[in-house]
């Protein structure tokens, strides 16, 4: 498969790139800064320098053409203000989805956030973030031209992955190592029978492949 990842230098994206490259997939990661390119090459991914905050749908679609799947893993990051939650977490996600439709890439996986909700109330930065992610998710869900799956991990940690997760429509809150999020994403990209599902993810009792198979087709 050829897989294009938005936010290619993110912590989850770099882990995902290593997993996909190791299993023989062709991976490209969209990054904002040219100086991030070597980290992607080291992970086995082809770096694509493109700023999703200023690019057009046509420019992004051009980078997606020929891909078998697209993964939106970009984020404004914890140090960013409210404005970039709108321009990255919402607008860039919508742009990437529209570009996938234009490029004819059906398989589309979104890394969202547990609690993301377009109706989320409040003015704190995290409230704005949850609202932005919720609005982006709602937009993607409305696109019939995409076989989308939305993944909402719990509290992200840098602990070593265990390969054991709980993946359901509603899991309740809990931690999840970034390693395990990447492992689930690698399975989801490959499992189009999870299309149309919004899934929460925390650490749990089931091996990743078993957890993904058990929700597929539901």
Active centre residues (catalytic):
129
- Number of Cβ atoms within 10 Å of the Cβ of 39: 16
Q: What's the distance, CA 47 to chain centroid?
A: 17
Cα distances (angstroms) measured from residue 52 to each of 31, 103, 157, 167: 9, 16, 26, 29
Identify the CA nearest to 107 among candidates 18, 190, 37, 206. Answer: 190
φ and ψ of 76, to 5 deg: -70, -25
Rg (CA), the chain: 16
Q: Supply the DSSP string of 9-58, one letter for each residue.
A: TSHHHHHHHHHHHHTT-EEEEEES-GGGHHHHHHHT-EEEE--TTT--HH
């Amino acid at each position: 498969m050829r897989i294009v990842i938005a936010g290619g230098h993110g912590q989850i994206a770099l882990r995902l790139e290593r997993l996909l490259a190791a299993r023989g997939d062709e991976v490209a990661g969209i990054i904002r800064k040219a100086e991030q390119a070597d980290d992607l090459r080291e992970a086995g991914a082809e770096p694509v320098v493109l700023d999703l905050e200023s690019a057009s749908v046509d420019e992004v679609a051009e980078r997606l053409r020929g891909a078998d799947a697209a993964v939106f893993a970009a984020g404004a990051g914890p140090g960013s203000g409210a404005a970039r939650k709108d321009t990255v977490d919402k607008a860039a996600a919508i742009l990437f989805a529209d570009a996938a439709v234009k490029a004819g890439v059906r398989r589309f996986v979104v890394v969202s956030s547990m609690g993301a909700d377009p109706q989320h109330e409040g003015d704190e930065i995290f409230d704005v973030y949850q609202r932005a992610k919720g609005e982006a998710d709602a937009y993607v869900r409305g696109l019939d031209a995409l076989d989308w799956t939305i993944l909402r991990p719990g509290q992200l940690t840098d602990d070593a992955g265990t390969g054991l997760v709980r993946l359901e429509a509603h899991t309740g809150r809990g931690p999840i190592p970034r390693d395990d999020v990447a492992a689930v994403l690698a399975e989801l990209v490959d499992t189009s029978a999870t299309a149309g599902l919004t899934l929460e993810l925390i650490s749990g009792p089931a091996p990743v492949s078993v957890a993904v198979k058990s929700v597929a087709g539901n």
